[in-house]
């Protein structure tokens, strides 16, 4: 019975005592002296948002750097392929074409 009551308590935001229901606050903004001021709460809530924005900006910069590096590699590969195609054409021209022998 006690275990069941503890499980129910951990799932529920309210605690039933007798016939009345008392809300159990799970807010991190509660203190022993009462609620924190609104500006403190706003600052605390804004900090994770600012941190996410910094992480997002860093991630965006890394992504842009990666895209630039990939574009550079593709361009280099295209230039290499073009050079090889030119070399192939020159080799084809330097090899005499086979003559057909008639018997």
pTM of the model: 0.41
Per-residue confidence (pLDDT) for residue 101, from 0 to 100: 67
Per-residue confidence (pLDDT) for residue 40, from 0 to 100: 57
pLDDT, tens digit (0-9, with 9 covering 90-100), for 60-92: 999 999 999 999 999 999 999 999 999 999 999
Average pLDDT, the chain: 73
The tokens describing 103, both together, are 């018997």
**Residue 38 in contact with residue 32, Cβ under 8 Å?**
no
What proportion of the chain, given as a percentage, has pLDDT over 70? 53
Q: Which helix (H) or strand (E) holds 13?
A: none
CA atoms of 41 and 35, how far apart (whole Å): 9
Per-residue confidence (pLDDT) for residue 12, from 0 to 100: 47
CA atoms of 74 and 67, how far apart (whole Å): 10
């Amino acid at each position: 019975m006690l275990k069941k009551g503890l499980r129910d308590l951990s799932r529920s935001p309210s605690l039933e005592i007798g016939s009345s229901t008392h809300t159990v606050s799970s807010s991190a903004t509660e203190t022993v002296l009462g609620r924190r001021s609104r500006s403190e709460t706003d600052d605390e809530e804004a900090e994770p948002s600012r941190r996410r924005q910094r992480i997002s900006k860093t991630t965006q910069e890394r992504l842009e750097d990666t895209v630039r590096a990939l574009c550079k590699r593709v361009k280099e590969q295209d230039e290499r392929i073009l050079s090889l195609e030119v070399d192939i054409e020159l080799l084809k021209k330097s090899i005499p074409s086979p003559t057909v022998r008639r018997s």
